[in-house]
Structure 1
Amino acid sequence: MDIENRSIEFIPENERYGSAKRLFTIWCSANMQVTTMVIGALGIVAGLNLGWTFIGLILGNLIGSIFMAAHSAQGPHLGIPQMIQSRAQFGVIGAGVPLGIVVLAYILFTAANGVVMRDSIKAVVPVSDNNAIILFGVLTLIVGFIGYELIHRLGAWMSAFSCVLFIMAAYIVLQKGLPAGVWEVSAHTFKFATFALVVTQAASWTLGAGPYVADYSRYLPSNISTKETFWYSYLGIVVGSGVVMLLGAIMAAAAMDVITDPGSAIANLFPGHKQLAYYVIIIGVLGWNVMNLYSSYMSTTTIFTGFKGAQRIGMMTKFIIMAIVAAIVTWIAIAAQYNFGAYFSDILIGQVYVLVPWSAINLVDYYLIRKGNYSVPAMYDVNSIYGKVNWNTLAIYGVSIIAQIPFMELSFYKGPIDKIVGTDISWMPALIIPGVLYYLINRNKQLHLDTEKVGFSEGKLAYESKR
């Protein structure tokens, strides 16, 4: 298998391949891993019973995955990475603002995965805590550098292996039995604040894939329908994350320690095959971690190439950028490993504040304003129709983040509305405010769609002829 030689540039039609079905396996496997179990356990740990936690997790998954899949559908149509397309809304250089935030969010999540896998790696390799995290970081770097096709193939295999592992784990836990009354769904057992938090956390998990989901659909042929791309992506993440979150909730209800060491919690269910279980667990999280690193590299590259209009990145530059990001991730994981609970909860909720407004702006622009008509070459040119910096969009983005402050709840801060409601519901204003504002300010751009459509088709052909 060759190392991927494309990065942030447009993928010509003669290099497109595959079917939308592979989007199901990559998103199913990426989410069917033990880090996702932690999300499912958080509601139980916070005091909600199993019945209401199940409903909250399912609802959050169904809601958040809509937006993730809507981003995925952009990949085959445009043939470029997700965050390059943000230049159409924020400007070629202005897109660096949300890009920088995206890079930070994925660095923190990649570090979280290193902490989650520390004890699982130590169970198969006799190393120290720090060295286990370093080893996981090195493996992530190697697979991420090889790139797109290996990531997809890993996803196809792991969707099958992980599915078998987690279904067997659920059967074993349920066979042992659960405490009486944990399934009761009634007004007596309902806790609004905790239920809303469970919905937010589950939705946050799937919404978080939005800024890079099109990175893994951009090689698909452009004649694949938006409907196919949407539904295979949607079902993949709903099935993958839903099954494992629900298992995490069941195990937490059975008084099993899912949050501290979810890998060992699963492996210990198979006393005769613990080593095999650990390998499946480690490779499963590795797949998700690689996707985070790969897209962190893509976003970092997008920031810096915006200033020079560069469209291609050399292999050595690619490796250096990935290695730097991997080193930063590993350092953060080592530093945060003994205070993981608060760290993970904060980044899970914190990403809602910064990623959801970007998602709302991007989707409104794509589906309501320009209706998928873009000039791809213009996204690589600072003097193009998209301009250097779109100050209106940046202002909307900033206002949307500020507007969430009263709704926020972190380990070190609780907003006034959060105190009244009893939980963090910031994802609602994070979606509504930027979406409405962006539409109202930009709806007249519909008058210029024909001009941009010509720019898209002619520019695309001109770009391909240079390859």
Structure 2
Amino acid sequence: MASASGVEQRSIDYVPRSERHGTPSSQFTLWFGANMQITAVVDGALAVVFGAHALWAIVGLFIGNLAGGAVMALHSAQGPKLGLPQMISSRAQFGVFGAALPLVLVILMYLGFAATGTVLSGQAINKILHVDATWVGIVIFGLLTFVVAAFGYRWIHRLGRVATVIGILGWAWITFRIFTEYNGADLLANPTFGFVPFLLAVSLGAGWQLTFGPYVADYSRYLPEETPATRTFNATLWGSVLGSMWSMTLGALIASIPKSGFLGNQVGFVGTLAGGGAIAIVLYFVIVVGKLTVNTLNAYGGSMTMLTTVTGFSKKAVVKPAMRMTFVFVFLALSVIVALAASADFLDNFRNFVLLLLMVFTPWSAINLIDFYLVSKERVDIPALYDPDGRYGRFNVPALATYVIGIVVQIPFLAQSMYTGPLTDKLGGADISWIIGLVVPGVIYYCWGRATNRAPEHTIYPADADLAEPGAVGER
């Protein structure tokens, strides 16, 4: 719901049937546009930087994107069914207070992605404006993000449609330039296979998609409840995978160009690759629009995750738009500060950041999906998600214990700059921790969750009125 000014009125509360709108195609354009961006190009380049041949890097990235994208799209399909932001639904697994543990980690994820993306976007804005002061582009980008995120859901989807069109035009030109000016076909020739860098490429692709999981339903929750889950799933999956793979493929090819200079100046090299001059300015604009789309997702999702954490203890079910906008501003202010302080060694820090996030979010994703689809069988007591004395209680020990176990079992398989697990050495340095982090907690929670199932016989919905009104519940 939006006011006359266009500002979204809802935040962490249930979206009534009377306010549902849109079609699954909006999920395709949002996630396609959000992935047509420079950070995804960097992610694809990392697979080549750390040893994979361009062709095998692309294959590995596709496998990872498809695997991670399927998990992410299953979260998206929850949105129309529940009409809730993604992390509110975590209270059904972890308890109203217990959900704070993954919530805090999600907030850190949003801040990390927002900060790293702001660094690159700030560079593009500075080149458009012909200024040298790093802080100028970063601050301008933060303000642009605030405007869209503050207005909310409808504006975010509109930006996604714009980013899709602009991204296609910009990336088509870059693709053309790579194959005509830099012998793109030669970059794919004579592929040599390396098992460890190939698995790294798979992990980078999977990590990229899996880290969308904690907020993907935020952007599908206004779809009509009767929207087929398969349509939401497919629109989200293919929008995200196709957009990210185009970007990552460009990254793998760019990183393979001899003496490209991409590592030292990612944004600047894209401008040079575009042809310089006015065309470069256009490509910098494309970079800004793509990053603005995904950064808005980070800010919007981050602010609602912060609100979900706070309201879990304050017992509020409805938050006014002014409060949501305040949380958006606080989140973006923090991300800008981090961006200004942490722009050095960007590539290495980003790689470690993505792989580290996998360790803490794959167990959450496994628990959430196993509970929703296999244990609770899509039955949720929505009003109880806001009541620590209700069906789901304050803490759900089985879920929290499974979550911790899911993190711990990954440690022997990690391949981080600060720590390499003993089993990783035996695998030649390949990081498969994300697979362990999905499978082990998924199996444990399936057994434990079935034994402690708290799901109602039918989904219990709030009435199509303010969730805060006493007794406003019913069953459909």
Distance 1:389 1:445, change over 3 A: closer
**Cα distance in 1 between the residues matched to 2:263 and 2:82:** 39
Instruction: After TM superposition, list the pairs within 5 Å mapping 1:4-403 onto structure 2.
Output: 4-125=8-129, 126-178=131-183, 182-184=187-189, 189-255=192-258, 256-268=260-272, 269-271=274-276, 272-403=278-409
Contact 2:85–2:221 (CA<8 Å) still a contact in 1?
yes
Give the CA deviation at 1:184. 4.6
Stretches of structure 2 that go unaligned for 5 or more consecutive residues are none
Give the CA deviation at 1:405. 0.9
- SS at 1:410's partner residue? coil
Q: Does residue 434 in structure 1 map to residue 441 in structure 2?
A: yes
For 2:51, give the aligned amino acid: G
Relative to the length of structure 1, the TM-score reads: 0.95
Give the CA deviation at 1:275. 1.9
Give the CA deviation at 1:198. 0.7
More divergent stretch after superposition (170-179 vs 82-91): 170-179
Contact 2:48–2:252 (CA<8 Å) still a contact in 1?
yes
**Cα distance in 1 between the residues matched to 2:252 and 2:282:** 24
**Cα distance in 2 between the residues matched to 1:259 and 1:20:** 38
Contact 2:17–2:464 (CA<8 Å) still a contact in 1?
no
- Matched with 1:411 is 417
Contact 1:370–1:445 (CA<8 Å) still a contact in 2?
no
Give the CA deviation at 1:452. 3.9
Relative to the length of structure 2, the TM-score reads: 0.93
Distance 1:241 1:147, change over 3 A: same
Contact 2:46–2:347 (CA<8 Å) still a contact in 1?
no
Query: Could you tell me the percent identity over the aligned residues?
Result: 37
Give the CA deviation at 1:181. 6.3
**Cα distance in 2 between the residues matched to 1:212 and 1:68:** 9
Contact 1:37–1:258 (CA<8 Å) still a contact in 2?
no
For 2:444, give the aligned amino acid: L
**Cα distance in 2 between the residues matched to 1:35 and 1:120:** 12
Contact 2:20–2:222 (CA<8 Å) still a contact in 1?
yes
- SS at 1:85's partner residue? helix
- SS at 1:87's partner residue? helix
CA RMSD in angstroms comes to 1.8
Distance 1:258 1:367, change over 3 A: farther
Give the CA deviation at 1:343. 1.5
Give the CA deviation at 1:462. 7.2
- SS at 1:388's partner residue? coil
Distance 1:376 1:460, change over 3 A: farther
**Cα distance in 1 between the residues matched to 2:237 and 2:254:** 26
For 2:286, give the aligned amino acid: V
Give the CA deviation at 1:270. 3.4
**Cα distance in 2 between the residues matched to 1:184 and 1:366:** 45
More divergent stretch after superposition (135-144 vs 97-106): 135-144
Contact 2:124–2:284 (CA<8 Å) still a contact in 1?
yes
**Cα distance in 1 between the residues matched to 2:263 and 2:450:** 46
For 1:400, give the aligned amino acid: G
Contact 2:399–2:445 (CA<8 Å) still a contact in 1?
yes
- SS at 2:345's partner residue? helix
Contact 2:10–2:321 (CA<8 Å) still a contact in 1?
no
C-alpha distance after superposition, 1:266-293 (max 9, x if no partner): 2221334222221121111111111001
The count of residues paired between Structure 1 and Structure 2 equals: 461
**Cα distance in 1 between the residues matched to 2:105 and 2:223:** 27
**Cα distance in 2 between the residues matched to 1:323 and 1:8:** 17
**Cα distance in 1 between the residues matched to 2:186 and 2:166:** 33
Give the CA deviation at 1:317. 1.9
**Cα distance in 1 between the residues matched to 2:235 and 2:186:** 36
Contact 1:27–1:155 (CA<8 Å) still a contact in 2?
yes
**Cα distance in 2 between the residues matched to 1:247 and 1:180:** 12
- SS at 1:236's partner residue? helix
**Cα distance in 1 between the residues matched to 2:186 and 2:364:** 41
Give the CA deviation at 1:428. 1.0
C-alpha distance after superposition, 1:101-128 (max 9, x if no partner): 0000110110000111222111112251
Contact 1:33–1:284 (CA<8 Å) still a contact in 2?
yes
- SS at 1:83's partner residue? helix
Stretches of structure 1 that go unaligned for 5 or more consecutive residues are none
- SS at 1:54's partner residue? helix
**Cα distance in 1 between the residues matched to 2:197 and 2:282:** 36
For 1:135, give the aligned amino acid: I
